């Protein structure tokens, strides 16, 4: 049986941006908490949609044809295969929902690739 996890406690334990941590699993999907700050890298996930739920702060998801600006409690799904580059001008706290094994940098790879971390 799983335990209760609290979003705020989980996020308080995360020091660095761009490091997704697993909060819970539902079958073969993960609910992840992450802090975002600054600009990420352009990438796409050819195999899966990616859901962003902003908890605090303002997150801009740059798409090739427009910017999607998300505030607290806004939800947006980047469809599979769509190039995007998240940018947070201040600190953003967010939830992600993705299939297990989804890599944060998608098809781009590189030094910003972060393994999925477990919460302490």
Kindly state the smallest distance separating residue 111's Cβ from a second copy, in Å.
Answer: 27
Q: Which is nearer to a second copy, 110 or 116 (CB)?
A: 116
Beta bridge partners of 38: 88
Q: Which is nearer to a second copy, 43 or 45 (CB)?
A: 45
Contact between 114 and 35 under an 8 Å Cβ cutoff? The reply is no
97's tokens: 């929902």
Identity of the residue, 43 or 53, whose beta carbon is nearer to a second copy in the bound complex: 53
The smaller minimum CB distance to a second copy, of residues 67 and 89, is found at 67
Q: How far is the CB of 110 from a second copy (least distance, A)?
A: 24
Q: Which structure tokens are listed for 3?
A: 């335990």
Q: For strand 21-26 and strand 117-118, is the pairing parallel, antiparallel, or unpaired?
A: parallel
**Shortest Cβ distance from residue 91 to a second copy (Å)?**
17
Secondary structure class of 13 (helix, strand, coil): coil
Strands 84-99, 29-39: pairing is: antiparallel
Locate 37 and state its tokens.
């700050």
Residues of this chain that bind a second copy (CB under 8 A)? 1-8, 23-27, 29, 31, 48-51, 53, 63, 68, 70, 73-77, 79-80, 82, 97-99
Residue in the structure block whose two tokens are 């859901």: 51
Least distance (Å) from a second copy to the CB of residue 52?
10
């Amino acid at each position: 049986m799983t335990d209760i996890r609290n979003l705020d406690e989980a996020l308080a334990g995360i020091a660095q941006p761009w490091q997704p941590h697993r909060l819970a699993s539902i079958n073969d999907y993960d609910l992840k908490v992450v802090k975002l700050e600054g600009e990420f890298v352009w990438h796409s996930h050819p195999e899966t949609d990616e859901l962003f739920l902003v908890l605090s702060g303002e997150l801009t998801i740059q798409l090739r044809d427009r910017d999607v600006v998300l505030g607290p409690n806004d939800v947006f799904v980047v469809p599979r295969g769509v190039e995007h580059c998240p940018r947070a001008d201040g600190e953003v706290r967010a939830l992600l929902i993705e299939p297990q094994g989804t890599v944060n940098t998608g098809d781009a790879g590189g030094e910003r690739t972060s393994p999925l971390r477990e919460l302490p």
